[in-house]
Structure 1
Amino acid sequence: MEQAPPPQRTAAATGSDADGESVRQDRSTAQNCAIVALLVLLVEITGLTYTMVTPALSEIAAAYRSPDISWIVTAVTLVGAIAFAVCGKLGDIYGKKAIALVCTAVFAVGTALCATAPVLPLLIAGRALQGFGLAVLSLAYGLVRDVLPKRLIPIALGFIGTGMGASAIIGPVISGLLVEPFTFRGIFWFQFGYAIVVGLLVWRFVPESGLRARAGVDWIGASLLGFGALAFLFGVGTIKSAGWLSVPVLGGIGAGVLLIAGWFRYERRAADPLVRIDLLAQRRVGLPLLANACVQFALVGNSMLVPMFVMSAPEGGFGFGATALEVAGFLAASGVSAMVAGPVSGLISRRFGPRAGMTFGASALVTGAALIAFVHDTATAVLLAQLVFGIGIGSASAALPNVLVHAVPADVQGVSGGMLNLVGSFGSSIGSQVLIVLLLLPGAHYTETGFVLAFLATAACGAIALTSALLVGPLRDRE
């Protein structure tokens, strides 16, 4: 089948040349550093959306008197997956800064809704709007490449990556400090103020990209995939309350499968598809994408389960009765080890190939998840498991993009990178639903058995990622 031509990049009305060099006007080092700093702060929206909220999940569940709070995470990742793909394309067409600010504004509206929501469905709707904030990451990367001097681009991208890792440490601490005096609503008011202030600074001081792409947006593909995933996850999420053979479960899962099958069929002939199905079918591409979905499944699972576990009252036979601030210590353990493991994984990939880094990361992920599933009687044991788990997440997350770089030709690396993020977001969405079902499987309330099942599910995902690494086969220019 003939492939659609790549989108054409043109100069914007601002008069930049075809390579966008005129927008890289002469600026002082201080001005360029300020641009990088503001983009790093803007991208923090993505990380804080998760890391500030997960320590408060138990309080949110208690406030709304519902143990099934999976959609608080699922709504963000599901909307974020579609927004990541669609808003990235809109940024190419209309300007990356403009679309990033629109996404920030939608995020702020959703955050205000979360802060004031009187009922759980409205909170979930607000979280869905927050999902647009996830698209800021890809738009910020594009701005860095378009407006900064070429010599500074690698440094700036490194700072953005480090900032994302730092949110895993800073977010839980801020959350713990706010929850005690202001309840969980204080978290969302902080995020609202943060988005407004940083958004205004970006609007004032960060230049717009001068590049534009003549390309369409795959609205039909995005709709089929989004509604298909929503229907499927709705079916999975109602298993506990409605029963395996109920109409909502079978109808939701069935409708989801049909819509996603229709999406596959449509993407094969779409002029500008969200996902290149021909690439997806290749083992060197499909297996790393599967591994990334599993890694993100495990990551979101750990960030949900650990706070809920350690905050559980020990009178129930498990947990430590930790406060929201004490939860930050457990999550920071995995965050710190993940930040350290990323560069280590890069060294392993450079020396032995990216598949070795992916294998190392997946192995550590399995070990850390299995440790916490079977040995969780003391805070020390849980902290050790978190350190090992963080090594796995950091190593695998750093290696997977390199695997794809070595798996595909240069002209489709941008497409494959977008597919990696899209599939990873859906892995997170599925994880948040499946793990809550497992958590509540033994009864109407959280039990130790439920936590063991859920942690074992994250270990199983690590095992699938490890198997994918072993089966991916030889990569281009390596091994």
Structure 2
Amino acid sequence: MAMNTTVAARSPRALLITLGLGTFTVSIAATTVVPVLPVLQQHFGVTAGDTAWLVTAYFLVASTATPVLGRLGDMKGKRPVLIGALVLFLVGSLVCAVAPNLALQIFGRALQGFGGAVFPLAYGIVRDELPVARIPNAIGFLAATPAVGGALGLPLGGFIAEHAPVAIIFVAQSTLAITALTAAWITLPGSRFRASGRVDIVGAIVFTVGFGLPLLAVSRAVSWGWGSPTTLGCFLVGAALLAGWAWLELRTTDPLVNIRTFIRRPVLLTNLTTAVAGFGLFGSFILLPQLAQVPESSGYGLGLAASAAGLLLVPNALVNAATSGMSGRVIGRWGARTPLLVGCSIAVAAFVLLSVAHGGAWLLVLWSCVLAVGVGLSYPAMPTLILGAVEQHESSEASGVNTIMRNAGAAAGSALAGSIIAAHTLPSGLPTERGFSIAFLVAALASALAVAIGVWIPRERPVPEPGTPVRAG
């Protein structure tokens, strides 16, 4: 362990590249499958609702496993848990590549979802191993990968859907996972800071079911109906289980999540802001390609193929990556709250502009790049605020909760965007322009709500040096 720590200390750039490769691998897998769902529907002879489980299963496992593995990483060491998460992701990718039926492919996607734990573990490793002065830039680099990977995954999946077998997607994901695993094995140090206690298995099970049911309802609401007994039942049972889980955690010696930490003002408000901001961002990933693929005969669509429509998001990914690096420098100088508020405000403007002016490819690219500036500024600020508000031994656990808040917002945003479009569809099957305008305005309102919540986040202290206690706030 001492040898690994020395290697990391001498090669912080190698450490960061390794972590970035892991988070990018997981991020691109989240959206690459979306354009190929119609192809898989025809291949397996199933309905669109059936293939949607390929997305739902991934997000369900990614969201519910993240805090569990984050807590395990804080206790047993972040390096072995991160490597384990990547191994499960690799196995899932291989299963998907050879799956002879949809059920097995859904199982493979669920295994891939365990890779979601890479994010909080990576943030925890950054806090443990890098000098405080380098943490904001490092977090900015890692925080860019969900948006960059998500944006690049759509055109890649669209291109493969049109020109190659779908299995190529999962072969490519397996290759990325093997590369990330090799780099992690060589580069990652052993953990110097570990939490004491045991794994709260009962709390993990109750949380998984309690959080998973509402997330399942949100993900499937378009096909089930928002007011259906199944959807409402999932919400009600999930809420009851989560309330019971919180009661249980407050009375457990070694809880899965320290509830007292997460109800502190800076942590609670940052997590709420993250969820609301994620609501708008991932809804746009669905809306922009859909809008571009509407036939020109509609009077507003561009009539692009899936791969060409996905390419509209490539400039978004590049701008996002560049802005995230700038966000790290802003955080280092003025703190994380400033870029969070500025970024969410820019997102409001971008969504409003998308709502009222989307009559050409250049406009979609332009406004999506404005949105990328907002996302690139705000997303790195969120985990930075969390890391600055919790103890060293809680870093991966706290980042894990922040990650699932982003995933929950993303799932809700995507589902609501789909519902709005479905509710504004002509008898011919074409969505109306009004539906897209309303959906973009809803995303703008979500970003405005993120600003309204974010202004109440206390001005943060810098991320403390390793071993420094964090005062309650």
Q: Distance in 2 between matches of 1:110 and 1:410?
A: 32
CA, structure 1 residues 163+460, in 2 after alignment: closer, same or farther (shift >3 Å)?
Answer: closer
From 245, 263, 284, the counterpart of 1:263:
245
The answer to whether the 8 Å contact 1:104/1:133 transfers is yes
CA, structure 1 residues 289+189, in 2 after alignment: closer, same or farther (shift >3 Å)?
Answer: same
1:277 equivalenced with 2:262 (yes/no): no
CA, structure 1 residues 100+411, in 2 after alignment: closer, same or farther (shift >3 Å)?
Answer: closer
CA deviation vs aligned residue, 1:51-87 (integer Å, no higher than 9, x gap): 4334545655676541686544343232112322222
Deviation of the 1:383 alpha carbon: 1.0
In the other structure, the counterpart of 1:306 is 288
What are the within-5 Å matches in structure 2 for residues 246-395 of structure 1? Answer: 246-349=228-331, 352-395=334-377
Q: Distance in 1 between matches of 2:127 and 2:331?
A: 24
Calculate percent identity across the aligned residue pairs.
Answer: 30
CA, structure 1 residues 187+313, in 2 after alignment: closer, same or farther (shift >3 Å)?
Answer: farther
Q: Distance in 2 between matches of 1:136 and 1:352?
A: 28
1:53 equivalenced with 2:37 (yes/no): no
Unaligned runs of 5+ in 2: 464-473
Task: Please tell me the residue identity of whatever aligns with 2:203.
Answer: G
CA, structure 1 residues 136+244, in 2 after alignment: closer, same or farther (shift >3 Å)?
Answer: closer
In the other structure, the counterpart of 2:449 is 464
In the other structure, the counterpart of 1:9 is none
Task: Please tell me the residue identity of whatever aligns with 1:220.
Answer: V
In the other structure, the counterpart of 1:189 is 171
Deviation of the 1:363 alpha carbon: 0.7
1:100 equivalenced with 2:82 (yes/no): yes
CA, structure 1 residues 70+467, in 2 after alignment: closer, same or farther (shift >3 Å)?
Answer: farther
CA, structure 1 residues 348+70, in 2 after alignment: closer, same or farther (shift >3 Å)?
Answer: farther
Q: Distance in 1 between matches of 2:126 and 2:338?
A: 30
In the other structure, the counterpart of 2:466 is none
In the other structure, the counterpart of 1:83 is 65
Q: Bigger shift: 163-172 or 341-350?
A: 163-172
CA, structure 1 residues 166+102, in 2 after alignment: closer, same or farther (shift >3 Å)?
Answer: same
Deviation of the 1:474 alpha carbon: 4.7
Q: Distance in 2 between matches of 1:404 and 1:102?
A: 24
Matched pairs, number: 456
The answer to whether the 8 Å contact 1:338/1:391 transfers is yes
Deviation of the 1:217 alpha carbon: 2.0
Partner SS, residue 198 of structure 2: coil
CA, structure 1 residues 127+304, in 2 after alignment: closer, same or farther (shift >3 Å)?
Answer: farther
Task: Please tell me the residue identity of whatever aligns with 1:196.
Answer: I
From 447, 450, 467, the counterpart of 2:431:
447
Q: Distance in 2 between matches of 1:171 and 1:325?
A: 10
Task: Please tell me the residue identity of whatever aligns with 1:99.
Answer: V
Partner SS, residue 217 of structure 1: coil
CA, structure 1 residues 428+224, in 2 after alignment: closer, same or farther (shift >3 Å)?
Answer: farther
The answer to whether the 8 Å contact 1:145/1:153 transfers is no
Task: Please tell me the residue identity of whatever aligns with 2:456.
Answer: L
Q: Bigger shift: 169-178 or 378-387?
A: 169-178
Q: Distance in 2 between matches of 1:241 and 1:37?
A: 40
Deviation of the 1:290 alpha carbon: 0.6
The answer to whether the 8 Å contact 1:169/1:336 transfers is no
In the other structure, the counterpart of 2:420 is 438
The answer to whether the 8 Å contact 2:123/2:395 transfers is no
Task: Please tell me the residue identity of whatever aligns with 1:447.
Answer: P
CA deviation vs aligned residue, 1:183-222 (integer Å, no higher than 9, x gap): 443212221233235435644x346626565432232222
The answer to whether the 8 Å contact 2:210/2:237 transfers is yes
The answer to whether the 8 Å contact 2:292/2:301 transfers is yes
In the other structure, the counterpart of 1:3 is none
Q: Distance in 2 between matches of 1:42 and 1:299?
A: 22
1:401 equivalenced with 2:383 (yes/no): yes
What root-mean-square deviation, in Å, do the aligned CA atoms of Structure 1 and Structure 2 show?
A: 3.7
Deviation of the 1:419 alpha carbon: 3.0
Task: Please tell me the residue identity of whatever aligns with 1:362.
Answer: C
Unaligned runs of 5+ in 1: 1-15
Q: Bigger shift: 175-184 or 366-375?
A: 175-184
CA deviation vs aligned residue, 1:360-403 (integer Å, no higher than 9, x gap): 11111111122222322211111121011111111111222344
The answer to whether the 8 Å contact 1:331/1:386 transfers is yes
Q: Distance in 1 between matches of 2:385 and 2:132?
A: 25
Deviation of the 1:462 alpha carbon: 0.6
Q: Distance in 2 between matches of 1:168 and 1:247?
A: 32
In the other structure, the counterpart of 1:209 is 190
In the other structure, the counterpart of 2:5 is 24
CA deviation vs aligned residue, 1:155-209 (integer Å, no higher than 9, x gap): 8767655666653565445445433321443212221233235435644x34662
